[in-house]
């Protein structure tokens, strides 16, 4: 049994290594490119006692129309106030925002010459988004010099200001120490800005394929005053043809109290599942 587990994880690491050797152009300027929807007024911003959030890595923005269909089905049951999306291109973000009637902020970190599209993280919301920022995370992947980043914006909704982070950290193709540095960078920035915001929301794909590293990431956030709001949802992704079900996707926050969270496991638009949470102010 142990031998099978070792072989399985060796296969995962080898697959990640191969998939990481892609031709990329890195956007090293923290101030560009930045894309947004112009922050039009979506609806009257009435007060509310809670916030509905989804974090979702839509694999390389390939099945956007299917993702939109799944999101619309979710919206019919529970309107979502904020979406945090990863592995997106501008066209995919704009299509989702148009389909759901949302504002968006999208900041790519690289251009993938193989797929001929940008790669980056997005924030979509029923509110408005101000003060866009790109936090470039430390360390480049040695195989292709890829960097990872965080899209940050101030979301104004329910007559409240929320500092929102859409995060995508590196895979096991990078050393655990370097990946931990990336998490530390997110937390430091969150701590620095938390002095100016009552509400902070940090979510996305942290690529914690191994259980020990997952615990380490959670402990880092918890020890710095961020609550893990999706601790009860279980696995959030599928890998190696469904043989592995890691917890890769998280929502952490300050200023909120947990109300509800779950994973949408019937989603077919990515190798990650949408992770939903309702947080009470």
Domains of the chain: 2-280 (3.60.10.10)
The yes-or-no verdict on residue 242 having pLDDT over 70 is no
Residue position matching structure tokens 């120490």: 177
- Categorize the per-residue pLDDT at 20 as very low, low, confident or very high, splitting at 50, 70 and 90: low
pTM of the model: 0.91
- Categorize the per-residue pLDDT at 15 as very low, low, confident or very high, splitting at 50, 70 and 90: very low
pLDDT tens profile 123-174: 999 999 999 999 999 999 887 778 999 999 999 999 999 999 999 999 998 9
Q: What is the mean pLDDT of residues 71-100?
A: 97
248/171 Cα distance (integer angstroms): 10
Q: What is the mean pLDDT of the chain?
A: 91
The share of the chain scoring above pLDDT 70, in percent, equals: 90
Cα angle 230, 239, 110 (rounded to 5 degrees) comes to 80
- The length of the chain in residues reads 281
The DSSP bridge partners found for residue 153 are 164
Q: Which residues contact 17 (CB under 8 A, 6 or more apart)?
A: 143, 173
pLDDT tens profile 205-229: 999 989 999 999 999 999 999 999 9
Q: Please tell me the predicted confidence (pLDDT) of residue 145.
A: 77
Q: Please tell me the predicted confidence (pLDDT) of residue 40.
A: 75
The yes-or-no verdict on residue 26 having pLDDT over 60 is yes
> What's the token pair of residue 278?
């309702």
Say which residue, 206 or 32, is predicted with more confidence. Answer: 206
Of 20-24, 32-36, 76-80, the poorest mean pLDDT is in 20-24
Q: Please tell me the predicted confidence (pLDDT) of residue 43.
A: 62
């Amino acid at each position: 049994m142990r031998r099978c587990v070792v072989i399985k994880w060796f296969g995962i690491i080898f697959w990640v290594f191969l998939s990481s050797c892609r031709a990329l152009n890195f956007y090293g300027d923290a101030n560009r490119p930045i894309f947004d929807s112009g922050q039009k007024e979506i609806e009257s911003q009435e007060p509310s006692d809670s916030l509905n959030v989804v974090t979702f890595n839509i694999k390389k923005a390939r099945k956007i129309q299917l993702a939109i269909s799944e999101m619309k089905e979710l919206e019919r049951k529970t309107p979502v106030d904020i979406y945090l999306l990863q592995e997106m291109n501008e066209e995919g973000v704009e299509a989702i925002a148009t389909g759901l009637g949302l504002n968006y902020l999208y900041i790519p970190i690289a251009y993938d010459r193989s797929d001929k599209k940008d790669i980056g993280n997005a924030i979509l919301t029923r509110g408005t988004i101000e003060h866009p920022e790109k936090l470039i995370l430390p360390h480049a992947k040695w195989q292709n010099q890829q960097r990872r980043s965080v899209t940050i914006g101030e979301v104004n909704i329910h007559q409240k200001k929320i500092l929102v982070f859409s995060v995508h950290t590196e895979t096991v193709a990078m050393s655990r120490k370097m990946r931990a540095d990336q998490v530390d960078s997110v937390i430091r920035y969150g701590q620095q800005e938390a002095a100016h915001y009552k509400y902070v929301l940090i979510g996305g794909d942290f690529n914690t394929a191994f259980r020990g590293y997952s615990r380490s990431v959670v402990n880092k956030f918890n020890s710095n005053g961020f609550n893990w709001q999706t601790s009860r949802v279980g696995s959030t992704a599928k890998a190696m043809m469904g043989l592995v079900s890691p917890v890769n996707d998280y929502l952490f926050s300050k200023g909120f109290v947990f109300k509800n969270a779950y994973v949408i496991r019937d989603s077919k638009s990515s190798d990650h599942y949408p992770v939903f949470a309702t947080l009470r102010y």
